[in-house]
Amino acid sequence: MYRKQVRRRRAVLVLLIVVALVLISATFSQSSGGPLHTVQQGVASVFSPLEEGATRALKPARDLVNWVGETFNARGENSDLKTDVQKLRSKLARAQSAEGENEQLKKLLGLDRSGVLADYKPVTARVIGRSPTVWYSTVTIDAGSGDGVAVNDPVINGDGLVGRITDVTHWTAEVTLITDSSSSVTGTVLPDGPDGVVEPEAGDPTVMLLDFIDKNEPIHEGQIVQTAGWINIQQGISSFAPRGIPIGEVRDTTVGQQETYQHIRVDPFADMRDLDYVQVATNGPTRPGVGG
């Protein structure tokens, strides 16, 4: 019984295939006005409204599926773009950081070549810590006695004088900045001005004062002040810094009627709030009164 059903199904399948082939052949062989084409057009005209209706009915579902797919694709693309932007920002930051470091090192090299530190052995170091106050009166650098750094060695950056070494370990050293209230250094006004003492202005660590300049000395805004490298052999005292290190430029000067000295304010060249690389002038000549 089962075998007869199988044979019947196979016979029906073969018959349907033969009929389909006959109809296809007849369709291609007939003209556009033949009976088969007429039947096709009739069937199409009957089912066309149904197809159009089904298409309209299913359009919201298709649109929803397309919107979901496009949303996921957009989110994926947005995530990829964010990742690309982050990578580009990182590359830009590294490039700008390297550019800034190169610029600072070039300035240090330029100051070396000027001959100011000809009698010293410069040691380049990086600032790794700052004093926990808004004044930033001291900074810590990553060079110490193991690199030849000693107390009272002058410290500069590419812009000019920064301060002096006041404490040393084998690997690190503390720099007291020229803006610290305890700091002072002899300075001279260029081109051929008088010598005085440069120290921080009370209450404003961004400004220095050039003291002990006679009120009759002609001092003008914009004149450069550099270290005087003052030495008094007879009294056995001297400045910790050699002559010729830039300190800053004159901002303004005032003289009171009853005063003997001018009140000269100086803008330091070195930005004490933005120190990165510095250079310590080590192994310099002996300076009277300056211990090592």
Tally of structural domains, the chain: 1
- What's residue 64's pLDDT? 66
Would 263 be classed as within a structural domain? yes
* Owning domain of residue 271: 121-292
Q: Which position has the token pair 């199409």? A: 44
Neighbouring residues of 150: CB distance < 8 A, sequence distance ≥ 6: 165, 168, 282, 292
Q: pTM of the predicted model, to two decimals? A: 0.61
The whole-number average pLDDT for the span 210-236 is 83
Q: What is the CATH number of the domain that holds 179?
A: 2.40.10.340
- Give domain status of residue 18, yes or no: no
Tell me whether residue 82 is in a domain: no
Which residues, 6 or more positions from 110, have their beta carbon under 8 angstroms from its beta carbon? 158
pLDDT (tens digit, 9 = 90+) per residue, 141-167?
999 999 999 999 999 998 899 999 999
pLDDT in tens, 17-36: 766 665 566 555 555 555 65
pLDDT at 97: 46
Average pLDDT across the chain, whole number: 76
Other CB atoms within a 10 A radius of the CB of residue 169 amount to: 12
Residue 278 lies in a domain: yes
Whether residue 52 lies inside any domain: the answer is no
Answer positive or negative: Cα dihedral of 118, 120, 124, 130: negative
